[in-house]
Amino acid sequence: MKSVLRVTGGRPLVGEITVRGAKNFVSKAMVASLLGTSTSVLRNVPQINDVEIVSGLLSLHGVSVESDPVAGTLTMDPSNVDLARLADIDAHAGSSRIPILLCGPLLHRLGEAFIPDLGGCRIGDRPINYHLDILREFGAHVEKHSETGIHITAPNGLEGTKYELRYPSVGATEQLLLTAVRAEGKTELRNAAIEPEIMDLIAVLQKMGALISVDTDRVIRIEGVSELSGFNHTALSDRIESASWGAAALATGGEVTVKGATQPEMMTFLNIFRKVGGDFEISDDGIRFMHPGGKLNSIVLETDVHPGFMTDWQQPLVVALTQAYGLSIVHETVYENRFGFTDALRKMGAHIQVYRECLGGTPCRFGQRNFNHSAVISGPTPLKAADITVPDLRGGFSHLIAALAAEGTSNVSGIKLINRGYEDFLGKLAALGADVEMV
């Protein structure tokens, strides 16, 4: 049965909430624990579904995971990886994108790995060609079977390599890091992704004993070592969740203090937030996001890899842009299909048109192809309540923001999807004075 949230909108979100560790880092640090010979401890871990999914994956691979959800601590002991039930990984098919990142650590420890069908948000085709190329470059054999999926082996071990990414993919950069740290010899990655979550993963690997340097111009160099220990680390804050609450404050005309939000990773978002007409105050504890009253401004925006404007910030911000004066243009350059969520916004009264062309900026990989990857938002438009269904994680949060900003009562279906990346969002909504009820 679908989970439905009844949202009565039209009142500003006001109050204070806390954001903990980043979904897109915590899951990768958990995978890194497989590389260690001793126990790892990760702190500031949020209670979200993706953490549960990766805990299940680790257990399947012989890592015992102890969780203190209130303290936000995970203790991971990899001493029984030899007992991994590799072929059972299919039970995790479709759950998240993390299983593919287990390949390097498993090849080092057991000499083989399986890749099931991956999950994650359906915001584009999301191929895994870079991942498989990288594994082959290290000397792994990749076999695709129609029944058992992808089977990877490394009968002769893994050797360092030189690789240049065609596009600075986050997952492929992580794949390379998690494989190179224990490969024989040196590895060089060109055109690497340098997202803050990747830098924190590098910090974890360095704590474990890895030798990694991040050089200028997106070049990462790794010298393989024969053994890594466990780590003790506090996860960086979730900049996507923080920005989502900021966008919610703006769209509802409210004021939300996000304890735990950190400025350095959010500078690009904060610049855009200010240009749109939002206001913020930064303290040692977090960031207070405000709608200062008056008109919001339209903007031209392009999503990009770090340090550009994150694609995962795009969907929540678009809801706030429906309340800005004039024409905003948003060019999505990271995923080819991330505007499906605007269908529901149109149903609620927003004026949004999507285009195949690269609008408002430089041409991207998706230009001249049949992908609606640019949006023109014309505002302000009052939003009215509607019955809508959550399409994906960030699109779902955007629907929630739209329902909170709209006059009347909306029914938002499939709301549980949001648990994948937003800790206790119902509790947080209640703390911010939202009128919501599960039905």
Ligand X SMILES: C=C(OP(=O)(O)O)C(=O)O
Interaction partner, residue 393 (ligand X, ligand UD1, none; CB < 5-8 Å by kind)? ligand X
Tell me, yes or no, if 364 is annotated catalytic: no
Size of site (CB under 6 A) for ligand UD1: 21
Residue whose C-alpha is closest to residue 145's, from 179, 114, 119: 114
* Catalytic residue (one of 103, 121, 358, 364): 121
Query: Is the Cβ of residue 120 or residue 157 nearer to ligand X in the bound state?
Result: 120
Q: Which is nearer to ligand UD1, 77 or 241 (CB)?
A: 241
Residue 30 phi, psi dihedral angles, 5° rounding: -65, -40
User: 77 vs 238, which CB is nearer to ligand UD1?
Assistant: 238
Residue with tokens 């009128």: 435
Query: Judged by CB under 6 A, which of 20, 28, 61, 97 binds ligand X?
Result: 97
Note whether 383 binds ligand X by CB under 6 A: no
Residue with tokens 């993919």, as numbered in its chain: 169
Q: Is 312 annotated as a binding residue?
A: yes
The reply to whether 23 sits in an annotated binding site is: yes
Under rule CB under 6 A, residue 393 binds ligand X: yes
How near is the Cβ of 101 to ligand X at its closest, in Å?
11
Of positions 39, 311, 374, 419, contacts ligand UD1 by CB under 6 A? 311
By a kind-dependent CB cut-off of 5 to 8 A, residue 421 interacts, out of ligand X, ligand UD1, none, with ligand X
Q: Which of the 8 DSSP states describes residue 72?
A: T
Q: Tell me the residue ranges of DSSP E strands in 72-148.
A: 73-77, 112-115, 141-145
CB of 326 to ligand UD1, least distance (A): 28
Two tokens, residue 368: 């001249």
Binding pattern for the stretch 3-42 against ligand X, x by CB under 6 A and - elsewhere: --------------------x-------------------
Q: Which is nearer to ligand X, 140 or 192 (CB)?
A: 192
Q: Which one-letter DSSP state was computed for residue 21?
A: B
In angstroms, what is the minimal distance from the CB of 105 to ligand UD1?
16
**Angstrom distance (rounded) from CA 43 to CA 64:** 16
The amino acid sitting at 148 is T
Burial label, 155 (beta-carbon count in 10 A; 0-12, 13-18, 19+): exposed
Contact between 340 and ligand X by CB under 6 A: the answer reads no
Query: Please, what's the largest Cα pairwise distance for the chain?
Result: 66
Residue 13: which of 284, 400, 439 has the closest Cα? Answer: 400
Whichever of 23 and 331 has its CB closer to ligand X, that residue is 23
Name every residue whose Cβ is closer than 8 Å to that of residue 368 and which is 6 or more positions away in sequence: none
399 interacts with ligand X by CB under 6 A: no
Q: Is 66 helix (H, G, I), strand (E, B) or coil?
A: strand
Residue 231: strand, helix, or coil: coil
Q: Which residues contact 145 (CB under 8 A, 6 or more apart)?
A: 151
Q: Which of the residues are catalytic?
A: 121
Applying CB under 6 A, the residues found at the interface with ligand X are 23, 96-97, 120-121, 312, 393-394, 421
Going by the annotation, the residues of the binding site for phosphoenolpyruvate are 23-24
Going by the annotation, the residues of the binding site are 23-24, 97, 312, 334
Going by the annotation, the residues of the binding site for UDP-N-acetyl-alpha-D-glucosamine are 97, 312, 334
